[in-house]
Amino acid sequence: MTSSISPAVWRVNLREKSFRREAVPASWERLGGRGLLARILLDEVDPTCDPLGPRNKLILAPGLLVGHMISSTDRISIGAKSPLTGGVKEANAGGRTGLQLALLGVKALIIEEQPTEPGWQLLHLSADGVRFEPADDLAGLGVYDTVPPLLQRYGNKVAIALIGPGGEMRLRTAGIQNLDKDRSPSRISARGGIGAVMGQKGLKAIVIDGSGGAKPSLADPQAFKAAQKEFTQALMAHPQTATYRDYGTAGIVMMCQGFGCLPTRSFRSGQFESAETISGEYMRQVLLQRDGDCETSHACMAGCTIRSSNVYGGPDGKAIVSPLEYETIGLMGSNLGIGDLDTIARLNYEVNDLGLDSIEIGAALGVAAEAGLMEFGDGERAMQLLKEIRRNTPLGHILGNGPAIAGQVLGVERVPVVKNQAISAYDPRTIKGTGVTYATSPQGADHTAGLTIRAKVNHLDPAGQVELSRKAQINMAGYDTLGACIFAGFGYAAAPHTIPALLKARYGWDAPADALQALGRETLKLEREFNRRAGFTAAHDRLPEWMTREPLPPMNAVFDVPPEEMDQLFNW
């Protein structure tokens, strides 16, 4: 079952239409996923280059542990210099892409330059290498309509990473979608506009056929199996695993309501009067009642035991969108004053089909509401504004480029962004550790870079939040380098020795007990260095000024972690 294919760097040049396999440089070997992206960007991409110019590179790298269907640990990292933040960018997702690349022995796929001719093409990866194929017939199609003809052409077993109309329009909120295990393009490497980089390179899709490959070789298959088993048991024993299985990420809505951090009406309040009808508990009742296509629990990757995903169906039981997740509920629900899950699901489908980041678009619609372009709570109007994006109108371009640009263009000061990237669904004034993460992460505002809400601390007290964020950021950078889902952390945290055990069994390395943190620290250091060279300074590691002076009801908290303390976060 294990492979004789040796891991390689696959390099594609779109100007030359060339492909070659290269040996993995020694300094890249012990990295994967997010850490490897940072290393490659630092080694190969001028940090001052135009992110939508030919010198930027689009890079796909499976995490270090990807390829053996360890539960929730087959994620793909996709990155580039971000057109949204201007800095380093990694966006990871579940689905099939990571596994299929690992089967082909792809340590990293590096896509360089851009075509000399206009038009759309796709890359087809298999054990035979890379083929360039025309894709003009797919131009303008939403992601859901793009997949069926591709599966017909390339077979049902391929993985696909693709962009929607948003990426084709080079919108800075465009992500790259990945097929899930059921072949729905619902796993989005969402953040930082990497879909625009793919669009700029004239690539509509990357199709990966791992059928001629094999699982990555193992240094010690027995030990690997044992560690994998122990991890899975630890994960399944964790109480949060059951919560996420039953309620998905939406299970956190009422907790956020309680903390007063649920973004409501463009971050004007931390509690929403209709929080209950957008909660995970309510959603579960609705889905159980509606039946049909509805699923309260659904896996995005083969082998996942958490199954935090879901299929949200309408009153007729027909699927509207899958999954419906907390960040979307927060940003496109309460943040827009919308308390109806059916409406949120329809907005979510539209954003997905366009291939855009629902966090950015939700925040941008909030800015539009601040500018008077819609009333809070008006789901119909919100949908009309999304149609403006699809119709490629000036207003659509304003919103489709995210809240930072929308705020600048529409003259709205209250814009929830850091490094131009939208703050996600935990208001930093009441969850201050996550606020520190938003402010200081090299990725820009991003809850997945170090969420602190589950820590048993007073989240309103500025003291100790830097340390809390530091630990969370190091751990998350480590997980993102392994290819582990944020929720796999429940298991790894309960059985931390399984991480060095898995690394040793797979690669033969003598990984230290704190291998996770060592990888995390290295990754953050590389990312910070890229950003430094791109022109970032401490002045950019700040929340929006208005969040430091506008108290958030009902807790009436402002963000007051001292900047000079945040500036010490990376001095560990």
Name the site residues for its own copies (rule: CB under 8 A): 47-50, 52-53, 55, 169-172, 393-395, 397-398, 401, 405, 408-411, 413, 533-540, 542, 544-546
Q: Which amino acid is at 227?
A: A
Taking the least distance from each CB to its own copies, the nearer of 441 and 448 is: 441
Give the containing element (helix H, strand E) for 441. none
Minimal distance, residue 46 CB to its own copies, in Å: 8
- Give the whole-angstrom CA distance, residue 544 versus residue 557: 15
| Residue 312 contacts residue 343 (beta carbons within 8 Å) | no
Q: What is the DSSP string of 3-42?
A: --PPPEEEEEETTTTEEEEEPPPHHHHT--HHHHHHHHHH
Taking the least distance from each CB to its own copies, the nearer of 346 and 429 is: 429
List C-alpha distances in Å: 292 to 296, 308, 318, 351. 11, 19, 6, 23
Sequence-ordered list of residues with C-beta below 8 angstroms from that of 271, at least 6 positions apart, any chain:
257, 260, 262, 264, 553, 554
Is 177 strand, coil or helix? strand
Minimal distance, residue 545 CB to its own copies, in Å: 4
Minimal distance, residue 240 CB to its own copies, in Å: 38
Two structure tokens written together for 93: 């997702």
Q: Which amino acid is at 476?
A: M
Is 132 strand, coil or helix? strand
Taking the least distance from each CB to its own copies, the nearer of 438 and 536 is: 536
Distance from chain centroid for Cα 301: 15
Minimal distance, residue 47 CB to its own copies, in Å: 7
Two structure tokens written together for 404: 């930072």
Sequence-ordered list of residues with C-beta below 8 angstroms from that of 165, at least 6 positions apart, any chain:
140, 141, 142, 354, 355, 389, 390, 392
Minimal distance, residue 415 CB to its own copies, in Å: 9
Minimal distance, residue 183 CB to its own copies, in Å: 30
Two structure tokens written together for 368: 């539009």
Backbone angles phi, psi at 536, to 5 degrees: -85, 145
* Pairing of β 203-208 and β 121-126: parallel
Distance from chain centroid for Cα 185: 14
- Give the whole-angstrom CA distance, residue 178 versus residue 161: 5
Is 93 strand, coil or helix? strand
Minimal distance, residue 549 CB to its own copies, in Å: 8
Taking the least distance from each CB to its own copies, the nearer of 327 and 541 is: 541
Minimal distance, residue 170 CB to its own copies, in Å: 4
Taking the least distance from each CB to its own copies, the nearer of 218 and 368 is: 368
Burial-class residue 455 by CB neighbours within 10 Å (0-12, 13-18, 19+): middle
Taking the least distance from each CB to its own copies, the nearer of 135 and 410 is: 410
Taking the least distance from each CB to its own copies, the nearer of 310 and 401 is: 401
Minimal distance, residue 55 CB to its own copies, in Å: 7
Taking the least distance from each CB to its own copies, the nearer of 10 and 267 is: 267
Q: What is the DSSP string of 214-228?
A: -BPP-S-HHHHHHHH
Minimal distance, residue 411 CB to its own copies, in Å: 4
Please give the biggest Cα pair distance in the chain: 62
Taking the least distance from each CB to its own copies, the nearer of 8 and 49 is: 49
Taking the least distance from each CB to its own copies, the nearer of 554 and 563 is: 563
Taking the least distance from each CB to its own copies, the nearer of 48 and 289 is: 48
Minimal distance, residue 71 CB to its own copies, in Å: 40
Q: Which amino acid is at 45?
A: V
Two structure tokens written together for 506: 């797979």
